[in-house]
Amino acid sequence: MTIWLIVFKSLRQHALSTSVTALSIALAGGLLMSVWAVKEQSRATFTGVNAGFDAVLGARGSKLQLVLNAIFHLEASPGNLNWNDYLDIQKNPNVELAVPLAVGDNYRGYRLAGTTLDLFTRAEYAPGQRYSVAPGGRLFDPTLREAVVGSFAARKLGLKPGDTFHPFHGLIFDEKNQHSETYLVVGVLKPSNTPADRVIWIPLEGIQRMSGHDPKAATDISAVLVKLRAGSAIAGFHLDMLYNKQGNRLTFAWPIGRVMAELFDKIGWFDRVLALIAYLVAIVATASILAGIYNSMNERRREIAILRALGAHRGTILSTILLEAASISALGMLAAFAIYLVIVTAVAAIMRAQTGVVLEPLRFNPVMFWAPLALITLGALAGIIPALKAYRTDVAENLSPIS
Amino acid sequence: MPLLEISNLKKSFVAPDGSKHVVVSVERFALAEKSLVALEGESGSGKTTFLHLIAGILTPDSGSINLAGREMSGLNESARDRLRATTIGYIFQTFNLLQGYTCLENVLLGMSFGPGANRAGAEALLKRVGLGGRLAHYPRQLSTGQQQRVAVARALANRPKLVLADEPTGNLDLKNARESLALIREACKEEGAALLLVSHDREVLSQFDDVQKFVQLNQGVRTEVPA
């Protein structure tokens, strides 16, 4: 009780330096927790998102580009493959489901993807979960110019069943490249928290035969989403050999999770830089605790001497200073959670808008346990030097006023 | 047995030039329980050092201090702190109140290093010294006389057997000095505490039946130059 009172009084007496130091701890802690949580959640999410498929077949090129294009609806397609390639893999006995995908157009920046109804009626984007249309809508008729809009895209574009729109050529919105076709929105997908939420889905032939597209490529597709039969683990290796090693025309990106993990390995340096910045901020913040308390020691010598004259042990004084340092860190860490929430919520919003992948700021991550523990310990350690100075305060010498 | 018994007490300090200044050299001094004694001495005569030695704030070079049946030289620092907190009340010339703490908190803090904080007891003490209506005031919000009264209340907070008062009226005007001194004496009598007060003020000393000259008690303030 006594120690807490002394700590509280001291924190209040040095409110400005306490606040500034706690804020720097908050920044370090918030940054550290954000970097960690975003890194781990995004890695887990990106490597876990596969839209319910095991692999992607596409034109010869980068597997990563293929996965980003076909699964995450990012990046341009590495090229086209012809309809027969789709038919071949569809007939492969190890393949349970093959869904063709064609891209190349957008509506105000949101990409149009042509596909078959299999994507909605047979594919499961997560175990037991299929893309479904919200009440008041229906799936498109493959023979008509109809569209089903992902929930995020619908909200951002303000599209609802009954609305019509003209697609634009290319994946990047340019007002000059408007197609003449008119599409009717017949449904909006229920939110799936997957990249599909950011896509406007139309019949495959819609993309293939859009005005201005090369008629010679009218049967070409951008990629095939492939789901292998359960239990045929060897099938992936077999198809990998077939397309990637023996063939040289197509690329079989399998397994999707590993391809994405490679991406994260490549950009891992970025996380490490951010983490390093957070560590540096933590070190600076800790040093400021040390400097702040140490500098206040001169003006506190008399107070310490009085406490000692009243009977306080040296150990009590030492503990008080250590606790004060730890308390500044603890206050900072409370604020760090607010900073963490702000950062991760902002990152989650950006990531959702850009990729459709959803991060959960409130999901527990071990960093929320160890970062506060580490920073509070570090804060307490920073208090050791001033605490030792306080411990050694000469009582008799400091009982008189300091002029 | 006296409450305080001192024999062959010596304390010296080493100056930066290496010379040794003997500040306290008391062959014999005793103080009975509940007695009120004043030590008369000029500034720089070693009175404060003498009180610090009795309080265990300083350790002597040699000699014995027996307080309430306990030999100080046999105690480690922690035990001396404990003995000081439970047995001694110290009133300083400059009051030494903690400026960031209210009157009540100053007294409670004094208690907390002894038998433990007792809010009702602290409030009663402050009421006793006439500050019942100033519990939540900070020292800077009080007059010097009132600050001295808080210091008296804090000194008595742990029901000490011995109250040491170092020039307690040195910073007060005549009126406040008289009132303060009367309060200290009355409070010590009421609490059954012995009082050892040091002062060079004749007005203060005249209030005591037992006044000892510190210059006679202290064998010598002298400087020994190392060979």
Q: Give the bridge partners for B165, in sequence order.
A: B91, B197
Answer whether residue B82 shows pLDDT above 50.
yes
Cβ partners under 8 Å of residue B115, min gap 6: B86, B158
Pairing, β A164-165 against β A95-107: unpaired
Element (H, E) at B216: helix B214-217
Residue B105: its chain A contacts at CB < 8 A? 5, 9
Structure tokens at A75: 């990046």
The pTM of this model reads: 0.78
Q: Does B96 contact chain A (CB < 8 Å)? A: yes
Determine the pLDDT at residue A401. 58
Residue A315: its chain B contacts at CB < 8 A? 78
- CATH number, domain containing residue B40: 3.40.50.300
Determine the pLDDT at residue A1. 61
Determine the pLDDT at residue A232. 61
Q: Does B57 contact chain A (CB < 8 Å)? A: yes
Contact between chains at B114 and A9 (C-beta distance less than 8 A): no
Determine the pLDDT at residue A402. 42
Q: Does B109 contact chain A (CB < 8 Å)? A: yes
Question: What is the residue range of B67's domain?
Answer: 4-224
Give the pLDDT mean for B48-65: 94
Structure tokens at B10: 């010596």
Answer whether residue A231 shows pLDDT above 90.
no
Structure tokens at A291: 């400097």
Cβ partners under 8 Å of residue A89, min gap 6: A57, A95, A98, A224, A226, A239
Number of H helices, E strands in chain B: 8, 10
Counting beta carbons within 10 angstroms of the beta carbon of residue A245, is it exposed (0 to 12), middle (13 to 18) or buried (19 or more)?
Answer: exposed
Residue A88 near residue A224, CB atoms below 8 Å: no
Q: Does B98 contact chain A (CB < 8 Å)? A: yes
- Taking every pair of Cα atoms in chain A, the longest distance, rounded to a whole number of angstroms, is 98
Write out the E strands in B83-199: 88-91, 162-166, 194-199
Give CA–CA dist A46/A356, Å, rounded.
Answer: 10
Q: Give the 3-state secondary structure of residue A63.
A: helix
What pLDDT band is residue A369 in, cutting at 50, 70 and 90?
very high
Mean pLDDT of chain B: 90
Q: Does B75 contact chain A (CB < 8 Å)? A: no
Give the pLDDT mean for B210-224: 77
Q: Which of A14, A303, A304, A306 to mutate to test the interface with B (most CBs of B within 10 A)?
A: A306
**Into how many domains does chain B fold?**
1
Neighbours of A164 (CB within 10 A): 11
Give the pLDDT mean for A112-134: 93
Under DSSP, the state recorded for B141 is G
Structure tokens at A184: 């009717």
What pLDDT band is residue A270 in, cutting at 50, 70 and 90?
confident
For residue B175, the distance in angstroms to the closest alpha carbon of chain A comes to 24
Answer whether residue A281 shows pLDDT above 80.
yes
Residue B101: its chain A contacts at CB < 8 A? 9
Give CA–CA dist B184/B165, Å, rounded.
Answer: 9
Instruction: Give the range among A214-228, B30-44, B145-159 with minimum mean pLDDT.
Output: A214-228
Residue in chain B lying closest to A12 (CA)? B100
Element (H, E) at B9: strand B4-14
- For the stretch A321-353, pLDDT in tens is 999 999 999 999 999 999 999 999 999 999 888
- For the stretch B85-142, pLDDT in tens is 999 999 998 899 999 999 999 999 989 998 888 899 999 999 989 999 999 999 999 9
Determine the pLDDT at residue B180. 87
Give the pLDDT mean for B164-168: 92
The dihedrals phi and psi of B131, each to the nearest 5 degrees, come to -120, 30
Under DSSP, the state recorded for B168 is T
- For the stretch B186-208, pLDDT in tens is 999 998 999 999 998 888 898 88
What pLDDT band is residue A403 in, cutting at 50, 70 and 90?
very low
Helix axes B119-128, B144-155, angle to 10 degrees: 130
ipTM: 0.91
